[in-house]
């Protein structure tokens, strides 16, 4: 897990006489399957109280893109309501609730570079700083978690975190030979356009490119901002495109 603090959704939560939820930026995530609503209902079930709030979600992170947008929204909801209604759950209790909502949600309670183990909820904080500029590309394809996990075969990592960081610091170009995403094979087979994005990032000068999580977002790391700014023009205007600077 690697936090990108300059790409985010915005949650506006206010106490109200009744519960309401609306979303700006996407009109198709306002039903009970939304993780924000699930977080509210979970807290209500456990605390045995109605949490009447008005929630407005301003959606900026692509949905079903492997960037953890929904998971981060769920974590923010847990943290906000726990404080707003003085529920008093400590971090470990919130961690348990976050895991009930999804394997990626615990990371967003305290997002720092981490290695996720087990289902992803066992987090080991790591000392990692990305050098270079990250270009994030999403072709507006929604990939569900269920779809991504079909036919996936987990494999043990071939390199330890310490070795990967050492190689990254000494020769970043070698990373593409040793750091992989097991989701890519099946997703690329079904959605060739996502594979083409990765190829185009390398063609445009990225020192490393990879599909993010379960897709459909692909990121490329460039030596400098200027290279990323040139590369971003090689992708269609209707794609989601974002440049993340380190620091």
> What CATH number is attached to the domain comprising 17?
3.30.230.10
- Sequence-ordered strand ranges (E) for the chain: 10-15, 20-24, 53-58, 114-117, 122-125, 133-138, 208-211, 218-222, 240-244
- Which residue range forms the structural domain that includes residue 66? 10-115
The pLDDT, as a whole number, for residue 165 is 79
Residue 41 has a pLDDT of: 97
Q: What is the structure's pLDDT at 208?
A: 94
Our count of domains for the chain comes to: 2
pLDDT for position 154: 74
Residue 100 sits in the same domain as residue 162: no
Pair (108, 140) in one structural domain: no
Q: Are residues 32 and 78 part of one domain? A: yes
Question: End of a domain among 115, 141, 168?
Answer: 115
Q: Domain for residue 1, yes or no? A: no
- CA dist 245 → 97, 101, 162, 222 (Å): 32, 30, 24, 10
Residues 153, 81 within the same domain: no
Q: Are residues 236 and 143 in the same domain?
A: yes
pLDDT tens track for 218-232: 999 999 999 999 999
- For residue 97, give the DSSP letter: H
The series of mean pLDDT values per 10 residues for the chain, 247 residues long, is: 93 97 72 88 98 96 93 98 98 96 95 86 84 95 86 79 82 85 94 98 97 96 96 98 88
């Amino acid at each position: 897990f690697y936090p990108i603090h300059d790409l985010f959704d915005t949650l506006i939560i206010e106490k109200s006489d009744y519960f309401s939820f609306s979303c700006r930026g996407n009109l198709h995530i306002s039903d009970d399957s939304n993780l924000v609503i699930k977080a509210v209902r979970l807290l209500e079930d456990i605390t045995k109280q109605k949490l009447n709030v008005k929630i407005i979600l301003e959606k900026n992170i692509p949905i079903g893109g492997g960037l953890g947008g929904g998971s981060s929204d769920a974590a923010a909801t847990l943290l906000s309501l726990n404080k707003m209604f003085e529920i008093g759950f400590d971090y470990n209790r919130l961690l348990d609730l976050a895991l009930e909502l999804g394997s990626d949600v615990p990371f967003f309670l305290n997002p720092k570079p981490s290695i996720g183990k087990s289902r992803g909820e066992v987090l080991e904080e790591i000392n990692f700083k990305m050098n270079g500029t990250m270009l994030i590309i999403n072709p507006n394809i929604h990939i569900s978690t269920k779809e991504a996990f079909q036919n996936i075969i987990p494999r043990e990592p071939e390199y330890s975190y310490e070795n990967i960081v050492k190689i990254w610091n000494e020769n970043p170009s070698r990373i593409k030979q040793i750091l992989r995403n097991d989701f890519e094979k099946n997703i690329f087979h079904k959605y060739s356009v996502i594979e083409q994005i990765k190829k185009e990032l390398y063609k445009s000068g990225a020192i490393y490119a990879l599909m993010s999580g379960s897709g459909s977002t692909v990121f490329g790391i460039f030596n400098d901002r200027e290279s990323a700014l040139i590369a971003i023009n090689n992708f269609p205007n209707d794609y989601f495109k974002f440049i993340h600077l380190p620091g």
